[in-house]
Amino acid sequence: MSKPRWRRAHAADLEAIGAVAARIHPDLPERPEVLAEKMRLFPEGCRVLVAGHEIAGYGLAHPWMQHRVPPLDDFLERLPDAADCLYIHDVAVLPDARGGVARAYVAEIEQLALTSGIATLALVSVYGTRALWERLGFHPVAPDAALRDRLSSYGASATYMLRELAE
């Protein structure tokens, strides 16, 4: 099979994205309309991983404020006027398509951030993926009380991480 590749997500991909999410995140479910809102607010940050004729993964990112984490399964309502990071909401890939694809997604989001005038990437690491994100240049940030409270909905191992981009 040809190498999986990332492309921009379209509304027609929502069902496939939901199917991957249900397999990868059974304990962190999000409503399809919450996902659809992200595609509407910031389509450039929403990608799918195409492997052969299948969608084998997705990555969702949007402008946000550092040290703030949107609640899971809830609407953003609007993007901040003075966004200072691109927040990677989720990257999830089916096991057979893994291997280099998180690195490739982050490289695309890095370019998107730089062309959007944003110099920092942010995410919440879950499922013990902290070492993987460190490998991709992110570092953990000690949360204040409000952030700690927010992180609790992401499970016990949730770690807020930032990556500053070189100009």
Ligand X SMILES: CC(C)(COP(=O)(O)OP(=O)(O)OC[C@H]1O[C@@H](n2cnc3c(N)ncnc32)[C@H](O)[C@@H]1OP(=O)(O)O)[C@@H](O)C(=O)NCCC(=O)NCCS
What distance in Å separates the CA atoms of residue 17 and residue 119, rounded to the nearest whole number?
28
What distance in Å separates the CA atoms of residue 63 and residue 76, rounded to the nearest whole number?
11
- What is the C-alpha R_g of the chain? 15
Min CB(122)–ligand X separation in Å: 11
**In terms of DSSP H, where are the helices of the chain?**
14-24, 32-41, 101-115, 130-135, 145-151
Q: Which stretch binds ligand X (CB under 6 A): 78-86, 111-119, 121-129, 140-148?
A: 121-129
Please report whether residue 139 would count as binding ligand X according to CB under 6 A: no
**For residues 42 and 58, which CB has a smaller minimum distance to ligand X in the complex?**
58
**For residues 82 and 155, which CB has a smaller minimum distance to ligand X in the complex?**
155
DSSP reduced 3-state for 26? coil
Min CB(82)–ligand X separation in Å: 25
Binding region for ligand X (CB under 6 A):
24, 91-93, 98-103, 123, 125-127, 129, 131-132, 135-136
